[in-house]
């Protein structure tokens, strides 16, 4: 394996979990989120592996945002067509969660603590899903990814002022929604 390929693999491993979290919030379906992340990684490797390594992160998240927008656009079209073509809404087995996720690791904290953390994450994800898409994505890039305003603006293809506005609105709305939540 070439050194560049190895660095790309390390980079992809470092962003895959966060990318999956972002995609899952937007896709609301584990399998679709995995597809979005996988497609993002393929496009990154295919088209941008020759770019300087310092450019990979913002490029990766721009590709991810584009894939998420494409997914949401296809979903809107699919929902419109469902009125006329009900067979587009079928699932093979209806199962949305991976049973492997329910197996407890030997080094995990107290089950009550785990449940509280899962409930907190679920509440945050549910609150995030209620935000407008741009606010949702800016929040995820800034808060979860720790991107600067400039980096988020590049990824979102908008101005820094727009990022600041969407982020501020998202934070205020999330505070309102989660203010009374107790896990």
- Which residue in the block uniquely carries the two structure tokens 């992160």? 57
Q: Given pLDDT bands bounded at 50, 70 and 90, which one contains residue 165?
A: very high
b/e code 13-37 from CB counts within 10 Å (16+ = b): eebbebbbbbbbbbbebbebbbebb
The tens digit of pLDDT for each residue in 130-154 reads: 999 899 989 988 887 888 999 999 9
Residue 175 to residue 118: CA distance in whole angstroms: 19
Extents of the domains making up the chain: 1-90, 109-183
The residue among 121 and 151 whose pLDDT is bigger is 151
Question: What's the DSSP call for residue 157?
Answer: T
The tens digit of pLDDT for each residue in 39-73 reads: 999 999 999 989 999 999 999 999 999 998 888 87
Q: Which of 141, 140, 138, 143 has its CA nearest to residue 163?
A: 138
SS3 (DSSP) at 64: helix
Average of pLDDT values for 112-125?
76
Chain mean pLDDT for the chain: 80
* pTM of the shown model: 0.58
Structure token digits, residue 89: 């809404």
Residue 181 to residue 111: CA distance in whole angstroms: 20
Q: Which of 80, 100, 99 has its CA nearest to residue 89?
A: 80
CATH number of the domain at 109-183, please?
A: 1.10.10.10
pLDDT the model gives residue 77: 59
């Amino acid at each position: 394996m070439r050194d560049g390929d190895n660095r790309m693999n390390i980079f992809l491993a470092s962003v895959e979990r966060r990318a999956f979290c972002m995609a899952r919030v937007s896709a609301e379906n584990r399998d679709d989120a995995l597809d979005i992340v996988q497609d993002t990684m393929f496009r990154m490797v295919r088209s941008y592996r020759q770019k300087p390594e310092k450019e990979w992160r913002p490029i990766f998240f721009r590709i991810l945002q584009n894939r998420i927008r494409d997914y949401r656009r296809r979903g809107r079209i699919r929902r419109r067509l469902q009125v006329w073509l009900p067979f587009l809404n079928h699932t093979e087995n209806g199962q949305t969660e991976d049973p492997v996720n329910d197996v407890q690791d030997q080094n995990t904290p107290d089950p009550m603590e785990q449940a509280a953390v899962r409930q907190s994450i679920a509440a945050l994800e549910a609150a995030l899903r209620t935000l407008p898409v741009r606010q949702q994505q800016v929040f995820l890039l800034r808060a979860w990814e720790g991107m600067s305003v400039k980096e988020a603006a590049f990824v979102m293809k908008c101005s820094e002022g727009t990022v600041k506005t969407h982020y501020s609105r998202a934070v205020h709305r999330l505070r309102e929604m989660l203010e009374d939540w107790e896990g």
